[in-house]
Amino acid sequence: MKLHKLSGAGNDFLAWAEGADAGPADPSSEPTVEQMVAWCRRGVSIGADGFLVLRRGDRPGDVRVIHRDADGSRPELCLNGSRCAVELSTHLGWADDDAVRLRTDLGPIDTVRVRPGRTQVTVPEEMLGSPDEYVLDVAGSEHRGQLVRVGGPHFVLEWPDDLETAPVLGLGSALRRHPGLGPAGANVHFVHWHGTTVHLRSFERGVEGETLACGTGSLAASLVGEAERRLPGLRRPVDVITRGGFRLGVGRDDTGRLTLEGDARRVAVVEVLEGAGA
């Protein structure tokens, strides 16, 4: 079986595309969840933050995308994965132009390949929520942040010092599973706002560790910055600097919908061998 290795601003994914070097256009040829988890393991397998399954729709430019995190869980929404799906879909010739209508678990998303290696997604308002303040106790220390829905739940925590000092693995892990955020927990983002720039580090559910970028987290941090007037507003695009050093652009289109634009690249076509198992 052949897979595509993709990267969206440092978020890396493996992808199986229906009928594209992966096997016939038959759902039975799709990899199992167990295989996806095994292949996402770093060090002993190919390694990735998540796995994408792409299926062609009935019309050109219509693509169904299913995302699994590295642990096999199925997140509500993955925007960097969606942007990578656009890059791969257009490369495979699944669209007559650079516009792709992605059908996610939460509903359709309009996307476009801005140019090779750069894609944009437009997020419907119904996939978003308004920030709510939470104060969470961890080992006797209170941590104030904003919980906001961008597909799934995101806890945004302002870090006043250099983000290099942020305890992403320790405090991030504790907050991610905090009972005050519900049984499913939340993605946790340490953020610093400066002018029209957002600096971001993320601890992601499903990966259970820090990732080099988070698309939904970039929108969450921008929404909180807008609500708290740390940003001048999103009608004027802001830059989100990821842990991997990439810049993701967050803004609003003419109708007020949020957009996310940035790097999305094909890295390799991988032939999976027997040794890539668990």
Whether 84 is catalytic is: no
Q: Among residues 78, 109, 150, 157, which one is catalytic?
A: 78
Q: Tell me how crowded residue 181 is: count the other CB atoms within 10 A of its CB.
A: 20
**Kind of pairing between the strands at 107-115 and 247-252:** unpaired
CA 23 to chain centre: 27
Whether 40 is catalytic is: no
Q: Among residues 20, 109, 123, 214, which one is catalytic?
A: 214
Residues forming the active site? 78, 214
